[in-house]
Chains A and B, each alone.
Chain A
């Protein structure tokens, strides 16, 4: 039976890596997050589902400190990573994020996009960074595109490069923000295959997505976000077949009606 988890229950389970504890965020009087709490264990893939505007993206951006948190706290391995006095540059080395709109740097070649972080932030020697980048690029079958500029690549290829760019920093958790929403349908599977591979390798991931089939397949846990709180969470089988919360039921009914599950 799926139910809203309390932090106490999760604490007992151990292995907690990322903890979001009662996070609030509002923009000019508009409350986007109203006390979101969730836990991502190490090597776990957690999928965030919910309607547009339910706060999925904002939550991911808060975890990455791209947005500040108004109330509540975010912790990684019991270290507070939100609020004042946090070394955000260190945090972002630990937490990688991939955006809906790729956000590759258009004035740099693919390989420069991938090596920028390692060279400038981690101070890896350029040659070594390039070698590592090429290994990563060949994994996604794009080593031949290394010297091309991003706008020569298809949307799917760009998004794969963006994933590699985040991975090149060696993050311990990856946040994926609706990474297939801006792609043509036939390009979606290439990107999802990479995410699937990463999940199998044990990458810790927090994924905001509208791809319900994918969420059902790869997620260890699914969280349904509604009006700025986690309304319901549980293993994907339960969440998708027997949701208990009326809002979750309504949301999934609409998804099914739209033929997306």
Chain B
């Protein structure tokens, strides 16, 4: 009862907010209708639960324990529905209440999509920089990290120094905040006159330094992902491949790596999503990415909707990427199982 009353109140409140701020009325109405429907569904499911309880008691009184048990199970199931629906609706209602809080101020300052939409081109140009940095860095990281992982797994006492080098690299770059690496690389390149990179001009120098910084950091993370993947393949697979006469590299190439890659796709994409998000770090050294542009616009219009708008840009890329990963894993498992 309390829940239902709260819901109706939140709808009323939301409605009032909508009137205050104007715009997006159709969507607002839709949300209201959804909450109203849920508010109706809760007492209905509650009633079914209570009815089952009563029925169970009646069966029990008649000595029909079997049917009483069935009815009691119904009761439990329906009451779980009430809990599930009620909790979800309450949380949703709270979010919408927050949306309209302080006479619509929250909505106006954080979620006024008109602002980012008016400057869509500007933000999109910035986001393209983020996408470019992450894509180039990802390609570099894929190869670079594999190299590190292979160095770390080189067999025999003779390759120990190479292994130490790889370990030192991963330890160092996993231990340093990405932001510091970005600072050091981007400001250090022109100061130290690093060959090739410092010969690039302006934006291009900034871009490639940013790519280098993120590749260094993520190379360390991803090499550990590779290593875990390679080590997860049972040595008997290596034994089988070697027994056919395949060499160390061929075994890695045709037997160990293909199986390892399938296993590391999820953590790998996790790191890439992470990398995609960390491209925002390069804004602090003056790359005109989406974060930088949103921050300038925020200062100009004194409205944070640009920043939330930038967040939406990131979501548009990262969420489908996550779903795609899930799809790949599932497809692979199906194929391996069902031939």
Which of A64, A120, A151, A152 meets B254, CB within 8 Å? A120
Which of B240, B245, B262, B335 meets A121, CB within 8 Å? B245
Main secondary structure of the interface of B (DSSP, over half): helix
CA of A120 to CA of B244 in the docked complex: distance in angstroms?
10
CA of A86 to CA of B152 in the docked complex: distance in angstroms?
26
Indicate if A169 sits at the interface (CB-CB under 8 A): yes
CA of A166 to CA of B241 in the docked complex: distance in angstroms?
10
Indicate if B336 sits at the interface (CB-CB under 8 A): yes
Write out the residue numbers on chain A whose beta carbons fall within 8 Å of the beta carbon of B245.
Answer: 89-90, 92-93, 117, 121-122, 169
Interface residues of A in 126-179 (CB under 8 A from B): 147-149, 151-152, 165-166, 169
- Does B258 contact A117, Cβ atoms closer than 8 Å? no
- Does B247 contact A106, Cβ atoms closer than 8 Å? no
Interface residues of B in 226-254 (CB under 8 A from A): 236-237, 239-247, 250, 254
Write out the residue numbers on chain B whose beta carbons fall within 8 Å of the beta carbon of A64.
Answer: 243
- Does B259 contact A66, Cβ atoms closer than 8 Å? no
- Does B237 contact A105, Cβ atoms closer than 8 Å? yes
Number of interface residues of A (CB under 8 A): 31
CA of A203 to CA of B246 in the docked complex: distance in angstroms?
23
CA of A165 to CA of B242 in the docked complex: distance in angstroms?
13
Given A64-B243, A116-B246, A117-B246, residue A106 in contact with residue B259 (CB < 8 A): yes
Which of B242, B246, B336 meets A120, CB within 8 Å? B246
Interface residues of B in 309-339 (CB under 8 A from A): 335-339
CA of A208 to CA of B242 in the docked complex: distance in angstroms?
20
Write out the residue numbers on chain B whose beta carbons fall within 8 Å of the beta carbon of A117.
Answer: 244-246
- Does B243 contact A116, Cβ atoms closer than 8 Å? no
Given A89-B245, A117-B245, A148-B339, residue A107 in contact with residue B240 (CB < 8 A): no
- Does A92 contact B243, Cβ atoms closer than 8 Å? yes
Write out the residue numbers on chain A whose beta carbons fall within 8 Å of the beta carbon of B242.
Answer: 66, 88, 92
- Does A103 contact B236, Cβ atoms closer than 8 Å? yes
- Does A106 contact B336, Cβ atoms closer than 8 Å? yes
Q: Name the residue of chain B whose CB is nearest to the CB of A92.
A: B245
Write out the residue numbers on chain B whose beta carbons fall within 8 Å of the beta carbon of A166.
Answer: 243-244
Which of A66, A93, A96 meets B239, CB within 8 Å? A66
- Does A107 contact B262, Cβ atoms closer than 8 Å? yes
- Does B255 contact A105, Cβ atoms closer than 8 Å? yes
Write out the residue numbers on chain B whose beta carbons fall within 8 Å of the beta carbon of A96.
Answer: 243
Write out the residue numbers on chain A whose beta carbons fall within 8 Å of the beta carbon of B250.
Answer: 120-121
Indicate if A101 sits at the interface (CB-CB under 8 A): yes
Write out the residue numbers on chain A whose beta carbons fall within 8 Å of the beta carbon of B239.
Answer: 61, 66, 99, 103
CA of A42 to CA of B339 in the docked complex: distance in angstroms?
40
Indicate if A39 sits at the interface (CB-CB under 8 A): no
Cβ distance B147 to chain A, nearest Cβ, rounded Å: 22
Q: Which 6 A-B pairs have the closest CB atoms?
A: A117-B244, A103-B240, A148-B339, A121-B245, A92-B245, A152-B339
Name 21 A/B residue pairs within 8 A (Cβ), A-sorted. A66-B239, A66-B243, A88-B242, A92-B242, A92-B243, A92-B245, A93-B245, A99-B239, A103-B240, A105-B240, A107-B262, A107-B336, A120-B246, A121-B244, A121-B245, A148-B339, A149-B335, A149-B337, A149-B339, A151-B336, A169-B244
